[in-house]
Chain A
Amino acid sequence: MKMTIRNSALMAVTVAALGGCAGGNMGTAQQAAYDRDTADVMARSFRAQGIATLDRLQQDPLMATCSAPDRHLGDEQAEQIQAAAMAGIKWPSDGNFLGDWKEGEKLAQSGKGLTWKDKADGANGGNCYNCHRISKTEISYGTIGPSLYQYGKLHGNTEKTQKYVWAKIWNPNATMACSNMPRFGHSGILDEKQIRHIVALLLDPKSPVNAE
């Protein structure tokens, strides 16, 4: 679905208003005016550089909703977002969730890809260590997301866990509306094969995540 920035920003406001928290003591008309100003400012403040083209500023309805400052999602709205995200997940075409954890570790380490300095054909990394603790030996990990160390040991390498982790990587909003984690599958950052490797990293009993 293609939207203009202005439309999507307006949509965010509408959705926030439905969520019952459009901005303290400021009138809705004033809020809407600032939202329009923001759309105008966004539209005139950037230029394309390399692969980072201006269409990246176009939000889909999910991101428009998740961009409202002081956002408060009601239960019903969160459920709607999650259901829509879940419905869009592409499951592994051969029914196989697990790849090679060694390849998964390489992808988890790499933060490469999709900035204006990167090439179009450059291989994208998963950025996982930027936000998560994963193995015991890698001490340079971020904390934006929860620790995933021993993930398979704690949750079991069952079909249910495999599906949960696949869905989380494909579109994290399927189980957590407005997650801070990227939609690796949905947005085409990683392909099916790469996601299999990363699921293996988290769940394979032989992976250092679970073996150590």
Chain B
Amino acid sequence: MKSRKYAVCLGVSALALMVPTLPALADATSDGIAHYRELLAEGNPAELWEMRGEELWREARGPKKATLEQCDLGQGAGVVKGAFVTLPRYFADTKRVQDLESRLLTCMETLQGIPAAEVAATPFGKGEQENIEALVAWISAESRGMQFNVPTSHPEEKRMYEVGKRAFHFRGGPHDFGCVTCHGDDGKRIRLQDLPNLTQPADAARGFGAWPAYRVSSGELWSMQRRLNDCFRQQRFPYPLYGSDVTIALSTYLGVTANGAGESIAPAIKR
């Protein structure tokens, strides 16, 4: 693996994320930290997904045996650099605001003939979803170090921002949780896991700008769709459909809040 420098912030709090609950604390903690250090010394394993993603972009695949090189991620057909930090955005061809993953579904279907609905229904980490994980790793890495600049000029973008803001504050389920319960105040934690205040620009940039990310705890590359999916699970909500408008609206709200407040470090390395 070629060694690259990653803007991974490994502070005390990141180490604290590794601490499990008592009583097996001491051993598991030092083991966890040692494992984490080992991984960092070798570089972020997300790099493996990035390399695979770049290959997949240029590989002729699907019933149409075509590559994704003509995919328009918002900066023009085939332009990948800088695309990640301006998503979600409105696309005239689909007449929808789309995040990176729902846009990839569109490109896979139109260019390669891979049915979007089937990919959306595939579980995370399996089949075509595995390919999407590699693609988002590479595409986001191509915007590493850039400031978020998610657009709100189109009325549909403005609408998705407003819907996302409301969805973020929507409390329900058996626990009355909403995103805002866990991500609405500064400096809070669940157990020892730090919770970013996603209503504030700097934290939104840090929290939103880190995903997709390599998760040390599971050894997987998690996309933003998967991050949101797991938060909805903790929220005790029903299952959010892959690429559904609620997930795109939430990403629009988080991305716009993050605008100008920090650089993308995705794909980051996370607990």
Residues of A within 8 A of B (CB): 9, 34-35, 37-38, 41-42, 44-49, 52-54, 56-59, 63, 66-69, 71, 109, 114-117, 127, 129-131, 137-144, 180, 182-183, 187-189
Contacts and interface: CB of A to CB of B under 8 A. Distances in A.
A58 to B, nearest CB: 7
A142 B238 contact: no
Nearest to A124: B174
A143 B175 contact: no
Contact of B192 (A67, A140, A189): A140
Interface in B14-28: 19-22, 25
Nearest to A37: B163
A198 B123 CA distance: 38
Contact of A140 (B19, B178, B182): B19
A23 to B, nearest CB: 9
Contacts of A41: 163, 167, 245-246, 249
B238 A46 contact: yes
Nearest to A183: B176
A131 B167 contact: no
Nearest to B20: A140
Nearest to B16: A140
B22 to A, nearest CB: 6
A56 B170 CA distance: 12
Given A42-B246, A52-B238, A67-B178, 10 more contacts: A41-B167, A45-B241, A52-B239, A53-B238, A58-B172, A109-B21, A138-B21, A138-B22, A140-B192, A144-B181
A112 to B, nearest CB: 12
A115 B22 contact: no
A127 B176 CA distance: 13
Contacts of B190: 130-131, 142, 144
Interface stretch (B5-13, B128-136, B211-219, B229-237): B229-237
Chain B's interface size range is: 35 or more
B168 interface: yes
Main secondary structure of the interface of A (DSSP, over half): loop
Given A37-B159, A142-B188, A46 B22 contact: no
B20 to A, nearest CB: 7
A59 B173 CA distance: 8
Contacts of B72: none
A198 to B, nearest CB: 16
Interface in B101-119: none
A85 B112 CA distance: 56
B76 interface: no
Contacts of B234: 115
Nearest to A180: B181
Contacts of A138: 21-22
A46 B244 CA distance: 8
Nearest to A139: B22
A48 B241 CA distance: 10
Nearest to B243: A45
Contacts of B166: 9, 34-35, 38, 67, 69
Given A49-B239, A143-B189, A44 B176 contact: no
Given A34-B163, A187-B174, A117 B236 contact: no
Given A142-B190, A183-B176, A56 B162 contact: no
Nearest to A59: B172
B191 interface: yes
B30 to A, nearest CB: 15
B187 interface: yes
A49 B175 CA distance: 17
Contacts of B168: 69
Nearest to B165: A69
B244 A52 contact: no
Nearest to B192: A140
Nearest to B245: A41
Given A130-B190, A142-B190, A46 B159 contact: no
B177 interface: yes
B29 to A, nearest CB: 10
B174 A188 contact: yes
A142 B233 contact: no
Contact of A38 (B170, B182, B238): B170
